[in-house]
Amino acid sequence: MSMKTHDYEKQAGAYAELEMQGTQYLAFRDIPMLIREHAGTIASVLDYGCGAGRSTRFLSRLGFNAVGVDVSQDMLDQARSKDGSGEYQHILSGLLPFEDFTFDLIFSSFVFLEVSRIEEIERILKEMKRVLRKDGTIIFVTSSTEATEGNWVSLSYSFQENDKPLQSGDTVKLLIQGVDVVLHDYFWTEEDYSGAAERAGLNVAKLHKPLGSRDDAIEWRDETKMSPIAIYVLRNSFPASQP
C-alpha cells in the first residue's frame, strides 16, 4: 500500500489560497504559448487533477470552458466555493466519466508527481488518450528531474530525506514557502514520463523547462539557470478512428 503523500483534508484550505507566485509562476507562465504552438482549435478542455481549482480558474481566464476533475472531494469543495459557476466532478484515479474523443485539450498540473507507481501514470495517460480528440493535445506540468538540486524562490527541498541519489519512485520532501505546506512527492525521471507516454500511445511533442527571466519582475535565484518545472506536451502517436 502506497503512502498518503498529501493530506488534502487538512490542507485543502491552504491549497485553495495558493496563487501562481514565486517559483510556481514558472509552471503556468508559458502555458498560453505552448497551447498556441501545439494545439489547434479548442472547444473543450479537461483539467485533470484540478485540486482546489487554481488551474481550472487559470484556464478560464485564458478563455476556455474547462471541466475540472479530482480524486479529492475536499479539494473540489474548495474549488466550488471559489468558482461557483465552474464545473467540477469527483473521479477515481484514471477513470473519467466522459465519452471517447470528448476534449480538444487536457491539462494537468502537479498530478503525476503524486502517483506512486509508473504503471498508474501510464493508466491515467491511456484514459486521457481515450477522451482526447484524435488531433487533441495533452499538456502536463510536473517537477523536473533537477528540482531537488536548486535554490528556489518559493520551494525548499532542504530536508535530510532528500540527501541521497534519487531513484525512480523515491519520495521527495518539499516545503511550499508562504503557506508552509509540506509535501511528499514521488520522483520520476524524463525517461519514466516519456516511456509511460509512449506505452499509452502518445508522443512527447515537446519537453519545456521554463527559466526565470528579468521580465518576470521576480528576484529569481537558481530559476534563471535551471528549472524545477517540466512541462510535457503530448500528442497521439497513432490517432484512433473517430466519428
Do the domain assignments include residue 72? Answer: yes
| Mean pLDDT to the nearest integer, 48-67 | 94
Do the domain assignments include residue 161? Answer: yes
- In one-letter notation, the amino acid at residue 240 is A
The reply to whether the predicted model has a pTM over 0.75 is yes
Contacts of 219 (CB under 8 A, 6+ apart): 153
d(CA 242, CA 113): 31
> In terms of Cα–Cα distance, which of 24, 97, 109 is closest to 59?
109
Do the domain assignments include residue 200? Answer: yes
Confidence band for 11, pLDDT divided at 50, 70 and 90: very low
d(CA 70, CA 47): 9
Integer angstrom CA distances of residue 136 from 21, 139, 183: 29, 10, 32
| Mean pLDDT to the nearest integer, 160-189 | 93
Please tell me the predicted confidence (pLDDT) of residue 3.
36
pLDDT above 90 as % of the chain: 84
Do the domain assignments include residue 193? Answer: yes
- Total domains present in the chain: 1
> In terms of Cα–Cα distance, which of 137, 106, 122, 126 is closest to 193?
122
Neighbours of 242 (CB within 10 A): 10
Do the domain assignments include residue 243? Answer: no
Do the domain assignments include residue 241? Answer: no
Under a CB-based contact definition with an 8 Å cutoff, are residues 171 and 185 in contact? yes
* Residue 62: CATH number of its domain: 3.40.50.150
Please tell me the predicted confidence (pLDDT) of residue 241.
53
Do the domain assignments include residue 2? Answer: no
Do the domain assignments include residue 3? Answer: no
Confidence band for 83, pLDDT divided at 50, 70 and 90: very high
Look up the domain containing 180 and give its range. 8-235
